[in-house]
Structure 1
Amino acid sequence: MLPDIVTFWHGSIDALRQTCLRSQVAAGHKVTVYSFDPIPGLPEGVGNAEAEAVLPHSFAEKLRPAEPDGSWRDWTMLQFSDFFRMRLMAQRAGLWLDADVLLLKGVELDPAKPYFAWERPRQLGNSVLYLPQNDPIVRAFEALMQQDELIPDWLALRHRLTFAMRRLRGKSNRLADIRVAIYGPAALTALARRADELQHALPKRSFYAVHAEPRLFFEPSDFSRYLNDPGIIGLHISPKGRGKAAPIPGSLYAWAAQRFGQRNTLSKP
């Protein structure tokens, strides 16, 4: 059986994410988006579950205070989701995929082993993530979430020095302020190395073939190499503000938007 796919979203959802969620359903997965409020426009077949029961909205205050109207600011959603996906792993909820991961085929995994891929030469991505419930990485995040300061014991020396300097200069007492991905890919990589789990990492092309170069997805090109490569399971898209833009004819995005329309599903072998 294919694993359930889970993710988190806060706010409205754009056309790109709708296309990606449809691709995940079309690949044969049960897909659930967790949120604090109902999300209008979720594709048919995508479930919507209450996020508060997984990780309370108030946890975001440990990252940074909300705006006067209560809305999140800056990087809060991204960093909150770094913790949210780990809490889902602790609850055995399924395979985490970011809402902007376009699946080209179903994801098969061994529930007893970690599942992730290299995003760049020395860093794992956490846009595609599965960890067993009692994995050391999950336990490390569970322990971190008990802290008020959210300062991990796996923090790299350069980040420790940056944080210390910011404190001395009175700029910030919150680790969350020094870098958007401080609890994301760098943390996952450090913990996977500590747990001797880097051996499980899939090659970069499995999910991150176009991640660093969004033009390969959004601009016209010969994208057949991505569709014909058996090593590519899906594509994590980095929208860079293009999520609401209409697909350009001849682009991989245009192909995906047509392929994964409301009624489209992947053909069965």
Structure 2
Amino acid sequence: MRPDIVTFWHGPLDRLRTLCLRSQVAAGHKVTVYSFDPLPGLPEGVANAEAEAVLPHAFSEKLRPPQPDGSWRDWTTLQFSDFFRMRLMAQNAGLWLDADVLLLRPVEIDPAKPYFAWERPRQLGNSVLYLPADDSIVTAFADLMAQDELTPNWLSLRHRMVFAMRRLRGGSQRLSDIRVAIYGPASLTALARRGGQIGHALPKQSFYAVHAEPKLFFDPSDFSGLIADPDVIGLHISPKGRGNQAPLPGSLHAWAAERFA
């Protein structure tokens, strides 16, 4: 089946994310962006839904206190979205795509099976994610979210030691401060291994061909092989501050901007 696409965004959308959302609509998917505030400038065909109904804004305070003006600090948005996508899975809302995933072709899933891909040799990515509502990974996150301290029972020995040493030295008492992606790909990989779902992972090329090397997207290059490869379903782009950059002629970015204008 061709699933609905869902995601979460906090703050203003940049040009790159707007482009990626257009590509998801062009692939024939219904796309919904959840947010706490209205998002002006969403592409035609992209719906905006209230995030509070999925995961309350107050949950962010379990991660870290807000700034004096109420805004979120450093890693809060990224980590909040790690929990938000799992709550959407529990609600059977659809396929999660990060807002910076450019689709080259439609995504087809089996709703009874997990859908994700390798981001690195030993780590799954969670930028593209579907899990059945009764999946053990979804259940594990539901149990975790009921805690005040948000300490996973699947935490690796290395991370347990880092956290213990930090606490002994008088550092942060919050696990969320030891690593930005502590609840993201590392957790997904550990739980998929524990639950036996790791075999469902797609090859890295399916979505993460340019993820670790954004220059392959932003700089002029020969990208013909990427867009012609039927195994490349989409591209998760890590913009690293280039989200509002104008496309450079001869780049994959320029090709995508013209195709999905």
Interval of TM-score (by shorter of Structure 1 and Structure 2): over 0.9
Structure 1: how far apart are the matches of 2:180 and 2:60? 14
Match of residue 12 from structure 1: 12
Point out the more displaced range, 23-32 or 164-173: 164-173
Aligned with 1:52: secondary structure? Answer: helix
Deviation for aligned residue 1:40: 1.1
**Equivalent runs, 1:94-109 vs 2, <5 Å:** 94-109=94-109
Structure 2: how far apart are the matches of 1:134 and 1:158? 29
Deviation for aligned residue 1:34: 0.1
Structure 1: how far apart are the matches of 2:171 and 2:250? 47
Match of residue 162 from structure 2: 162
Aligned with 2:143: secondary structure? Answer: helix
Aligned with 2:47: secondary structure? Answer: strand
Aligned with 2:165: secondary structure? Answer: helix
Match of residue 196 from structure 1: 196
Structure 1: how far apart are the matches of 2:214 and 2:161? 32
Structure 1: how far apart are the matches of 2:97 and 2:220? 26
Deviation for aligned residue 1:2: 1.2
Deviation for aligned residue 1:235: 0.2
Which amino acid letter does the alignment assign opposite residue 211 of structure 1? H
Structure 2: how far apart are the matches of 1:225 and 1:101? 18
**1:200-255 residue CA offsets vs partner (Å, 9 max, x unmatched):** 00000000000000000000000001111010000000000000111111000000
Deviation for aligned residue 1:41: 1.1
Which amino acid letter does the alignment assign opposite residue 176 of structure 2? A
Match of residue 82 from structure 2: 82
- Structure 2 residue ranges without an equivalent (≥5): none
After superposition, the CA RMSD in angstroms is 0.4
Structure 1: how far apart are the matches of 2:247 and 2:39? 23
**Equivalent runs, 1:1-269 vs 2, <5 Å:** 1-261=1-261
**1:2-60 residue CA offsets vs partner (Å, 9 max, x unmatched):** 10000000000000000000000000000000000001111110000000000000000
**1:87-115 residue CA offsets vs partner (Å, 9 max, x unmatched):** 00000000000000000000000000000
Match of residue 267 from structure 1: none
Structure 2: how far apart are the matches of 1:66 and 1:258? 40
Identity rate, percent: 80
- Count of aligned residue pairs for this structure pair: 261
TM-score by length of 2: 1.00
Which amino acid letter does the alignment assign opposite residue 64 of structure 1? R
Which amino acid letter does the alignment assign opposite residue 180 of structure 1? V
